[in-house]
């Protein structure tokens, strides 16, 4: 149990740290002047998203915030049992991603959990995203690989 918590919390902490630092950097540097890193492929720009992934469910911040809190609680409860390493790592990435975006919903809010999430990475035609979103995507891939391997 201690091993699972320690691994997952370490990963989640690193993700939250990177997510918050990069969002702050984006808010200071990309609001008025997006940066094109690879023309037509990768650029950094500042956007605010009141919804979920791919700008769906706009204005659903309170629901999404409560869902993030429930997911965080569920994963912390689940990690009390010994889990396969790849699953623990995946859970750590989900925790970090959920906490990173939840921090925006809490600290950038005017009302209850209605803060907008800062997105700043533009890659090809994928909607703008951030480190927290990337972390959740990595988690999904790891959890699929883990489920496939244990089949």
Catalytic residue (choose from 19, 104, 133, 146): 133
Choose, from 19, 32, 114, 119, the residue flagged as catalytic. 119
Distance separating alpha carbons of residues 119 and 101, to the nearest angstrom: 10
* Catalytic residue check, 104: no
User: Which phi and psi angles does 7 have, rounded to 5°?
Assistant: -65, -50
Give 106: exposed, middle or buried? Use CB within 10 Å, 0-12, 13-18, 19+.
Answer: middle
Does 32 qualify as catalytic in the annotation? no
Q: Which residues contact 94 (CB under 8 A, 6 or more apart)?
A: 71, 75, 135, 136, 139
Active site residues: 119, 133
């Amino acid at each position: 149990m201690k091993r699972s918590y320690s691994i997952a919390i370490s990963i989640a902490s690193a993700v939250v740290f990177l997510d918050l630092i990069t969002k702050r950097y984006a808010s200071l540097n990309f609001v008025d002047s997006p940066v094109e890193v690879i023309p037509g492929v990768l650029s950094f720009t500042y956007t605010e998203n009141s919804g979920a992934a791919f700008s769906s469910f706009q204005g659903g911040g309170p629901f999404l915030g409560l869902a993030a809190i429930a997911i965080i609680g569920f994963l912390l409860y689940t990690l009390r049992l010994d889990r396969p390493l790849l699953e623990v790592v995946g859970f750590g990435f989900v925790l970090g991603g959920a906490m990173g975006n939840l921090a925006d919903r809490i600290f950038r809010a005017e009302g209850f959990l209605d803060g907008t999430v800062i997105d700043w990475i533009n890659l090809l035609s994928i909607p703008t995203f951030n480190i927290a979103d990337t972390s959740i995507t990595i988690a999904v891939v790891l959890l699929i690989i883990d489920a496939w391997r244990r089949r």
